Structure 1
Amino acid sequence: MKGSSFVVLLVALLAVLIGSQTLYVVKETERAVVLKFGEIVEADVQPGLHFKIPVMNDIKKFDARILTMDSRPQRYLTLEKKAVIVDSYVKWKIANVSKFYQATSGDEFVANRVLSSRVDTGLRNQFGERTMHEVVSGERDELMTELRDNLDEVAKNELGITIVDIRVKKIDLPPNVSESVYQRMRTEREREAREHRSKGLELAEGIRADADRQKVVLEAEAQRDAEMIRGDGDAQAAAVYAKAYTQDPEFFEFYRSLQAYRESFSKKGDLFLLKPDSEFFKYLNGVDGVTK
C-alpha cells in the first residue's frame, strides 16, 4: 500500500516537472518569441497557455505595454545660435517582437540607449531649424509631431518598436544666458516704468495747470459777480437814499452832517483848518445863542 502511494506521488512529481518544462504562460501584458537553439522559430506569441519542447526550445518574454524613456536634459542650439536646455521624454511600445529581439536581444536598456541617441539627433535637427520663439511657443506641437513621425519610421525599421509620443517637458536657458535675459528683461521693465512715470508726471502737470486755470477763472468770475452785486446794492442804496432825501431834504442833510462830524472827529489827533462860517459847521452855528 505504501509502495503504491509512493509510485503515485512519484508520477505526480514527474508530471509536474514535465509540465513545467513543456508548458508556459504568456500574460496579456506580454509578448514572447520561441527560440530553437537560439534561432527564432515562432515570433510574437500571443497571450495564453502554450507548449514547448524542453531543452530544445527557449522562451523570451517582453513587456508589451507602453514604456517611457525619460531622457536627461540636453543642450541644443536654435536657428539664431541661441542655446537652450531641453528636458524631454518618449513613450514607445514593441511593434515587431522578432525584430526587437534581434536588434536588442530583448534588453529594454539597449533599446532605450539606441532610441535616446535617435531622439537626441532628431531634437538637435528640429531645434536647429527654428527660432527661439518658435520652439518655445509658436511651433512646439508641430516640432513634436514632425519629430515623432520621423523617428517612428526609423524605430520600426531598426528596433521593431513604434513611437507613441514625444514631448518636451521643459525648455530652459543656460544659467549664464538666463542671467543676461533676466537682466535685459529687468532693464526693459525699468525703462517702461520710467516711461509710465514720465507720462504720469506730464498728465499731472496738465491736470494741475488746468486746475490753476479753472481757479483763476472761477476767482475772476466770482470777483465779477461780486462787483456786479455790490454795484446793484450801491444802486439800490442810492435809490433808497434819494427817495428818503426827497421826502425830507432838511432832515436828510442834517443826518448826513452828523455822520460827517462823527467820522471827522473820531480821532483826536486830526487837525482841520476851516472858516467858522464854513458850510461844514452849518448845523453847529447858532448853538448857545451864537448866530451865523
Structure 2
Amino acid sequence: MKALPIIAIAGVVALVVIVSSLFIVDEREEVIVTQFGQVRAVKTEPGLAFKLPFIQEVNRYDARIQSLDTAPLEVTPLDDRRLVVESFARWRISDVERFRLAVGQSGDAALRSGAQRLERIVTAETRGVLGTVASDAILSVDRVALMARIRDAAFAEAQSLGIDVIDVRIKSAELPEQNLAATFGRMQAERQREAEDERARGREAATRIRSQAERTAVEIVSSAVRDAEIIRGEADAERNRVFAEAFGQDPEFFAFYRSLTAYERSLQGENSTLVISPDSQFFEYLQNDTVQPRN
C-alpha cells in the first residue's frame, strides 16, 4: 500500500516530463530549440516534435509573409526637386537561425526588431536609387523599374538578416508641404502665360480673318458696282436707241408721249402744285384740242 503514492508520484513526474518534452510546430511558423542560449535544433516542418525537458526552450518565429510600411522619406532626385516618398515592403523569414542571430529575440518581439532593421535597409536603398534619376522618372511609368531596383538591392542586403524581401512598392511621391505653395504658384503663372499666348494668337487670327473678309467684301462690292455700271450703261444705250428709233418713226407722237410723262412725274403726290405761266410751252398739248404737227 505504501508503494501506491510513490507510483502515483512517479507517474505524475513522468507525465510532466513527457509533456515538457513534446511541442507542436504549427504550419504557419518555424521553431528553434535552444539549450542555454545555443541552437540545438531547427524545426520547419509542421507536426509533433521533441526536446529535452526543462533545459531546452522552444523559440517560435512566424513564417508567413509580413508587411512593412516605411515612414515618409524625403529624397532629392538629380534635378534637385525634393519629394516625400512613402513605400511599403513585403518580406518573410528565409533563414530562421540566421534571423535569430541577427535580432536576438523570438516571437512578436523578433518580428518588430526584424522590421526595424529591414526598414533601415529599404530606406537607404530607396534614397540611393531615387537619387540617381530625375523626379519625372519617379512620377511616371518608369517607377516600376525603380521599384524593382530597390527590391533587388534590399533583397541582397537583407540576406544577412535571414530575410527575403519579396516586393517593394512606392505608395506616394509628393512635394514637401513647404514647396507646394510655390509650385502651385509657378504652375498657375505658367498656365496664365499659356492662356495669354493662346488669346494673343486668337486675336492675331481674328484680325487676319477680319482683314481678309473686309478685303473680300470690298472686292465683291467693287465688282458688283462695276458690273452694275456696265449694265446701267448698256441699258441707257438701249433706251437711247429705242427713243431714237421711236423719234425717227413719229417725232410728233414721241414729243406728245414725252410731255405726258413729264406731266405724270411733275404731278405726283396728293398735294402737288405747279406755279407756271399758262402760256408756257409745258402746257402745249393741254391748250390745243387737237395735236398739230410741228414745223
The runs of at least 4 consecutive aligned structure 1 residues that moved more than 6 Å come to 13-16, 278-282, 284-288
Write the distance in 2 (CA, Å) between the matches of 1:14 and 1:238: 151
Please say if residues 44 and 98 of structure 1, whose CA atoms lie closer than 8 Å, have aligned partners that are also in contact: no
- The reply to whether residue 96 of structure 1 matches residue 127 of structure 2 is no
Residues 155-181 of structure 1: per-residue CA shift (max 9 Å, x gap):
111x11111111111111111212111
Once the two structures are TM-superposed, the CA of residue 205 in structure 1 deviates from its matched residue by 1.0
Q: How does 1:1-292 map to 2 (within 5 A)?
A: 20-104=19-103, 105-106=105-106, 107-137=110-140, 139-157=142-160, 159-260=161-262, 268-269=274-275
Query: What's the CA shift for 1:216?
Result: 1.5
Given the superposition, is the C-alpha separation of residues 92 and 196 from structure 1 closer, same or farther in structure 2, using an over 3 Å criterion?
A: same
Q: Structure 2: how far apart are the matches of 1:235 and 1:56?
A: 139
1:150 Cα deviation after fit: 2.0
Give the letter aligned to residue 172 of structure 2. K
Most deviating of 195-204 and 133-142: 133-142
Q: How many Å separate the matches in 2 of 1:47 and 1:19?
A: 19
Q: Which moved more, 1:16-25 or 1:257-266?
A: 257-266
Could you tell me whether the CA contact under 8 Å between 1:31 and 1:62 is conserved in 2?
Answer: yes
Cα displacement string for residues 252-274 of structure 1 (whole angstroms, at most 9, x for unaligned residues): 122223444666787535689xx
Tell me if structure 2 keeps the 8 A contact 1:44–1:96. no
The answer to whether the 8 A contact 2:25-2:43 is kept is no
What value does the CA root-mean-square deviation take over the aligned residues?
Answer: 3.3
* In 2, Cα distance between equivalents of 1:15 and 1:242: 156
Identity of aligned pairs, percent? 35
CA distance in 2, matches of 1:79, 1:53: 59
> Structure 1 241/62 Cα, relative in aligned 2: closer, same or farther at 3 Å?
same
Segments of structure 2 that go 5 or more residues without pairing to the other structure are 1-6
Per the TM alignment, residue 51 of structure 1 is displaced from its structure 2 partner at its CA by 2.2
Tell me how far apart the structure 1 counterparts of residues 237 and 37 of structure 2 sit (CA, whole Å).
Answer: 132
- Cα deviation, 1:57-79, whole Å, max 9, x if unaligned, reads 22112111111110111222223
What is the one-letter code of the residue matched to 2:70?
A: S
- Could you tell me whether the CA contact under 8 Å between 1:32 and 1:46 is conserved in 2? no
* TM-score, normalization by structure 2: 0.80
Kindly state the Cα deviation for residue 230 of structure 1 after the two structures are TM-superposed. Answer: 2.7
Structure-2 change in CA distance of 1:271 and 1:50 (3 Å):
farther
Equivalent residue for 2:4? none
Q: What are the Cα deviations for residues 212-249 of structure 1, in whole angstroms up to 9, with x where unaligned? A: 12222222222223223333433343344344334433
* Structure 1 CA distance for aligned equivalents of residues 195 and 80 of structure 2: 31
Q: TM-score, normalised by structure 1?
A: 0.81
CA 1:72 to 1:286, structure 2 compared with 1: closer, same or farther past 3 Å?
A: closer
Deviation, structure 1 residue 197? 0.3
Q: In structure 2, do the counterparts of structure 1 residues 14 and 55 end up closer, same or farther at CA, with 3 Å as the change threshold?
A: closer
Instruction: Tell me the residue number matched to 1:3.
Output: none
**AA of the residue aligned to 1:176:** Q
Contact 1:127/1:135 (<8 A) preserved: yes
Question: Which digits, 9 at most, give the CA deviation of each residue in 1:21-77, with x for residues without a partner?
Answer: 332222222111122232211124312222223213221121111111101112222
The number of equivalent residue pairs is 277
